[in-house]
A and B are shown apart, each in its own frame.
Chain A
Amino acid sequence: GDSVTQTEGLVTLTEGLPVMLNCTYQSTYSPFLFWYVQHLNEAPKLLLKSFTDNKRPEHQGFHATLHKSSSSFHLQKSSAQLSDSALYYCASNNAGAKLTFGGGTRLTVRP
């Protein structure tokens, strides 16, 4: 079945530095990829999703590029903010119903 791998469980960095959270996937087909964000004591919610064409999705300064050749959908931001501290999940869906999540990356941004 499909799987999503997030290699970093914890990422800690200083405010103003760039952010990159890794996500790779395995799928028989060409799935749609998503990033969800979960702030403390809240429900996960959509941050951004891949497009069918070559557009690069962006939201709140975050962006991600789907690379089918390497099966990756890394999340990036040029300058981290304190409010970016949260749990980030990469997810894939290729069949309309079964949405599979990775293990999550907890991002902590320090002053």
Chain B
Amino acid sequence: EAAVTQSPRNKVAVTGGKVTLSCNQTNNHNNMYWYRQDTGHGLRLIHYSYGAGSTEKGDIPDGYKASRPSQENFSLILELATPSQTSVYFCASGENNANTEVFFGKGTRLTVV
């Protein structure tokens, strides 16, 4: 089974601080994703990547940056964290095929105070 590992699993950050969420996958998938999950909004796509060196804006990219330094790693960066970014963040990976499933990590609960 595909393995996607997120770190940290829980994070408390201060407003205005920098936060980096990390994601690692060991299945050699080309595509990786960052979503946030909020009640009433479901899973919303922040950034995604087709492979090492590529990052694409999703549906809600404002306030977030992404970095894909290698096939295995995909990071989400909040340069200036705000309370509105308090959420649960999920990383996922999948093959570059529209008809294949994606595999999710266990999520990171971020609280910005």
Contact = CB atoms under 8 A, between A and B. Distances in A.
Same complex for A and B? Answer yes
Interface of A: 1, 6, 9, 31-32, 34, 42-46, 49, 52, 89, 93-104
Contact of B59 (A34, A96, A100): A100
Contact of A104 (B43, B58, B96): B43
Given A99-B33, A99-B94, A46 B101 contact: yes
Query: What band does the interface of chain B fall in when counting residues whose beta carbon is under 8 Å from A?
Result: 20 to 34
A99 B104 contact: no
A66 B102 CA distance: 20
A84 to B, nearest CB: 19
What is the interface of chain A mostly: helix, strand, loop, or mixed?
loop
Interface of B: 31, 33, 35, 40-45, 48, 50, 56, 58-59, 90, 92, 94, 96-99, 101-107
A45 B2 CA distance: 11
B87 to A, nearest CB: 14
Contact of B42 (A42, A43, A103): A103
Contacts of B41: 103
Given A43-B90, A99-B33, A49 B101 contact: yes
Contacts of A102: 42
A95 B98 contact: yes
Contacts of B44: 101
11 contacts: A46-B101, A89-B43, A96-B98, A97-B48, A97-B56, A98-B48, A98-B56, A98-B58, A99-B45, A101-B42, A103-B40
B25 to A, nearest CB: 13
Given A32-B98, A97-B96, A103-B40, 12 more contacts: A31-B98, A32-B99, A45-B103, A49-B99, A52-B99, A94-B98, A96-B97, A98-B45, A98-B48, A98-B58, A101-B45, A103-B42
